[in-house]
Chain A
């Protein structure tokens, strides 16, 4: 029988509303907060501590979907910003944010980063049809 992980669940409960969990290695990425004030949160499950993500969260951006690799180095994020939806890749060690355009153009909705961080799968709307793109990441 699966057992609830009580200390971590208490920690998550204390954070408040949260959604879109993504587990990988010792990391849990999720979207935390309510309404228009949500942000990406990365938790180190071994230390039971949130990790700083400088440059990733913006007050004027609405996170939609998030995923992390097993090293906790790469975070893929779909977000809405200034009326547009964009997919970005965040590299934690260098605090860089790289946009990943949809080719052909489309509206990204949900992203999942492969565990080793070398590929991502993203759900994209094109002409009213949902498709899945696979994007290699060097």
Chain B
């Protein structure tokens, strides 16, 4: 009996040290989108929103969902600009940043879900954007670019462009608002 207890305890402890006991779940189905493939996850500050890239008719498409319900939230400015990649969210999910295709260029876009505005990040023509990271407060944007065969990371100051999205702020529920004048 005591040996059994010891074995059980040792299994529990080894499980704990390995992290197997951590609560986890799948991000779940991708709604109306085809297949189950989901890539490039990005959580908002407290995990209320999850952005990811899913396959939609063979095109990599940005999907924004509330968690844990999986409710899909509309995005106004990303349609017809696939393939999408590298989504990134601010603290309360107000800002959604991602790379899109425009002509033969990859372009960094930031959608403000509170007022419907769209912000573009122009890059010099000799640099191709590969990956983004929006700081949670939306003060900075880090962009990985390919330049002359090398990867570089460059930082941009967004403070003159965006209102901050601070911890404790209200989550933007609907999205897809009409752009403000």
Residues of A within 8 A of B (CB): 1-5, 8-9, 12-13, 17-25, 28, 30, 45, 70, 89, 98-101, 103, 109-110, 112, 114-116, 118-123, 129-138
Contact = CB atoms under 8 A, between A and B. Distances in A.
A131 B131 CA distance: 20
B121 A13 contact: no
Contacts of B47: 114, 116, 118-119, 134
Interface string B22-36: 111111000000011
A114 B23 contact: no
A29 B112 CA distance: 25
B25 A131 contact: no
Q: Which label, helix, strand, loop or mixed, suits the secondary structure of the B interface? A: strand
Interface of B: 17-20, 22-27, 35-47, 50, 52, 67, 91, 119, 121-122, 130-131, 133-136, 140-144, 150-158, 160-161, 167
A121 B23 contact: no
A134 B39 contact: no
Contact of A116 (B18, B46, B134, B153): B46
Contacts of A132: 26-27, 38-39, 41, 50, 52
B136 A5 contact: no
A123 B23 contact: no
A20 B144 contact: yes
Contact of B43 (A3, A12, A110, A121): A121
Given A21-B144, A134-B27, A123 B22 contact: no
B43 A5 contact: no
Nearest to A27: B135
A110 B39 contact: yes
A1 B122 CA distance: 9
Q: Give the interface centre of B42, B151, B156 by most chain A CB atoms within 10 Å.
A: B151
B25 A134 contact: yes
A115 B168 CA distance: 13
A18 to B, nearest CB: 5
B32 to A, nearest CB: 17
Contacts of A2: 119, 121, 141, 156-158, 161
Contact of A114 (B27, B39, B43, B142): B43
Nearest to B155: A5
Given A116-B46, A131-B36, A134-B67, 14 more contacts: A2-B121, A4-B154, A4-B156, A4-B157, A19-B144, A20-B144, A70-B45, A114-B44, A114-B46, A115-B46, A129-B36, A132-B52, A134-B25, A134-B26
A12 B154 contact: yes
A134 B68 CA distance: 10
Contacts of A131: 26-27, 36-38
Contact of B41 (A4, A20, A122): A122
